Chains A and B, each alone.
Chain A
Amino acid sequence: MTVSVIPVGPQHPVFLEPFQLKLVVEDEVVSEALPRFGYVHRGLEALVVSKDFRQMTRVAERICGICSAIHGMTYCRAIEKLLGITPPPRAQMLRLVWSELHRMHSHLLWLGLFAEAMGFESLFMQIFRIRETVMDILEQTTGNRVIISVNVIGGVRRDLDAEGADGIRRALKKVAGDLERIRPVLVDDYSVRKRTEEKGILAKERAYELGAVGPVLRASGISQDIRRTGYGAYGELDFEPVVESGGDCQARCKVRYRELFQSMDLIRSGLDRLSDGEIQTKSKEKPEGEILVRSEQPRGEVVYYIRADGSKHLQRLRIRTPTFANMAALMDLLPGLDLADVPLVTLSLDPCIACTER
């Protein structure tokens, strides 16, 4: 038996962001894995000392491009709680619509990359074509494709007119039809199933113990979704977390695929319940106190901890991002895998390194 150490990354065709896995390989089987981070560390948490708390909203949005709207929303919710203000119902609902659109484009991005990691280029193209519809509605309604900068402390800054709402409804119909068409490919195709089934199984108890979050946890059969705490406007809408029991790559794929439809339902009922009125509550106060706020991002639960002392600058901002929590699960998954499956299993957790390192 030959033992060798293979560095995977920091530049690797499957990992879109730089991070390194040192794999100890016996023949073709991984026996140990050690990650190395720090390639994109930007020190965003430490920026609180030089940017005031309103400017930090823009920094929070830029922690990660893919979950930008939800990062912004979570930060604003935390500051709003400290200030003791509540955004008007219309703003809350608009936040919900935009965050669910973000979740959709994130999941579509992941589905596409997952197909590409399998070597299924034409499916990747097809999924990115669907994603483009979602990006277009984001651009049409907010002005930007990815970092939409709609969240401000106290509400949102862009309103949605009836025409925009209709545009969203029409686009969702198109997306739903397109997604329905690729379902047989993702779920029944022989080569896709060969590549994903029984690969990287994360057992239910183990997933919970390791603190996995989001779709990874739900694919292992645990029904946990922070949106169920009813923050923002989520409390008004009725939905059940999407749960699969397999715990393998196929189950994680199915969870994200089904969540796309769940997001579409949420957006539609959100648009139907959109009330008229203000979209911003203004406040001149400065935040003071300590707070812990959680949201559900496309990749799972994000936790913001803020300590403020009533001055313009926050004292401490700490963000526990979803991939950070999932890393422990990933390191538990890798030993025992074939080397050829490592990229796919790593990708099936949807690692976002920019989030992890901040």
Chain B
Amino acid sequence: MLESTSLVDADRLHSHAGNLKENGWRLVGMTGVAREGGVDLFYHFDRELKMTNLKVETEEDETIPSIGDQFPGAWIHENEIQDQFGIRFDGLDPDYRRLFFLEENVEATPICRGVSARVSKEPGK
């Protein structure tokens, strides 16, 4: 478990993020990690070189509220997560609809393949 991380529900995310914003925290980035049946989303915040994290455990096909209205720099992180894991963000602006890094004809979610799809053992392939 990551240091100073609090687990929050998706519908409480907005109020938690608002709290952090009021206390002068800055959004550093977002990380998505695939697990069985969903994705762990981390929101990293920083204030005076200290970090704190929010963790949201999403289920498959769940829509997460965007925190773009509180942190105006969040759109770029959310668009990337949307590309990589296919998670929908509610209220995302601008919304690239999964064309941020990907081409039109890509259907798959590149990183959300779970542990089972891992190829291994063969060196350098």
Contacts and interface: CB of A to CB of B under 8 A. Distances in A.
Interface string A291-315: 1101000000101010100001101
B33 A315 contact: yes
Contacts of B72: 209-210, 328, 332
B76 A292 contact: no
Chain A residues touching B, range:
35 or more
A41 B101 contact: yes
A55 B124 contact: yes
Contacts of B76: 324-325, 327-328
Contacts of A51: 124
A231 to B, nearest CB: 11
A208 B71 CA distance: 10
B7 to A, nearest CB: 13
A221 to B, nearest CB: 15
A49 B118 contact: yes
Which 6 pairs, one residue from A and one from B, show the smallest C-beta to C-beta distance?
A320-B29, A328-B73, A211-B73, A38-B101, A210-B73, A318-B31
A305 B1 CA distance: 12
A138 B101 CA distance: 34
B102 to A, nearest CB: 7
Contacts of A208: 26
A328 B29 CA distance: 12
A3 interface: no
Nearest to A222: B26
Nearest to B24: A208
Interface string A204-215: 000011111000
A37 interface: yes
Interface centre among A49, A51, A312, A313 (most CB of B within 10 A): A49
Contacts of B123: 52
15 contacts: A34-B94, A41-B101, A45-B111, A49-B120, A55-B124, A209-B73, A212-B73, A291-B2, A303-B29, A307-B33, A313-B118, A313-B120, A318-B32, A327-B76, A328-B75
Nearest to A301: B28
A259 B2 CA distance: 33
A49 B119 contact: yes
Label chain A's interface by main secondary structure.
mixed
Contacts of A37: 100-101
A43 interface: yes
A315 B2 contact: no
A325 B28 contact: yes
A290 B1 contact: yes
Contacts of B101: 37-38, 41, 357
Contacts of B125: 50
Interface centre among A43, A291, A313, A328 (most CB of B within 10 A): A328
B22 interface: no
A219 interface: no
A46 B34 CA distance: 12
Contacts of B115: 315
Interface centre among A50, A313, A324, A327 (most CB of B within 10 A): A50
Interface string B50-69: 01010000000000000000
Contacts of B107: none
B44 interface: yes
Interface string B85-114: 000000000100001111100000011000
Interface in A1-58: 34, 37-38, 41, 43, 45-46, 49-52, 55
